[in-house]
Amino acid sequence: MDIEKNIDVIIDNFTKLKSCKDNIQKIAEISIKAIENGNKILLCGNGGSASDAQHIAAELVVKYKKLRRALPAIALTTDTSIMTAIGNDISAEKIFERQVDALGVKGDILIAISTSGNSINIINAINTAKEKGLVTILFTGSNGGNGAKISDIVLKVPSDITNNIQEMHIASGHLICDLIEEHFAK
């Protein structure tokens, strides 16, 4: 492994991430409007993307850089009893869909995170969110997958390599949290 070469790839990816700035801004603005209207942000993902969902929810509920009021965000990746019950009693493909159905209301936002855009449980969650009137946002890689075809807003970061996609997803999440926080910290 050539560390310098890998760092150069990361630098190049983050330079290319500038191409996503309009969607990052749009996601922040839609999130601000939803919160101002009394709605919440639901987040989901698998594996590393589950961690990103939890990370972003924590930045919103607790704080990103500034102490301000708590903002309503829920990571659907944290309740092991619900997740294992759905996985065991129904299907792992329904893990996020059932939670969106139970917790989501019209005007809420679903941020679904999938490096490929093809995770069945993510696609099912997006479909249920759309049926219930949630705004659907997908963080994904350059391909977008099937999730990109059905989501309201798609943040396609410029890579098709999983770890690089994840690095740009959390950076994008931080940028979104920063914009949201600036608004509510006024």
Nearest to 144 by CA among 115, 122, 166, 173: 115
Q: For the chain, give the mean pLDDT.
A: 97
- Tally of domains in the chain: 1
Question: Which residues, 6 or more positions from 145, have their beta carbon under 8 angstroms from its beta carbon?
Answer: 114, 116, 117, 118
Q: What residue type is assigned to position 138 of the chain? A: L
Res 45: pLDDT: 98
Average pLDDT, integer, range 32-51: 98
Question: Which residues, 6 or more positions from 103, have their beta carbon under 8 angstroms from its beta carbon?
Answer: 42, 74, 76
Res 186: pLDDT: 82
Looking at the predicted structure, is the pLDDT value of residue 1 above 90? no
Domain residues for 174? 3-184
pLDDT in tens, 124-142: 999 999 999 999 999 999 9
pLDDT in tens, 57-94: 999 999 999 999 999 999 999 999 999 999 999 999 99
Phi, psi of 133 (to 5 degrees): 90, 20
Q: What is the CATH number of the domain that holds 23?
A: 3.40.50.10490
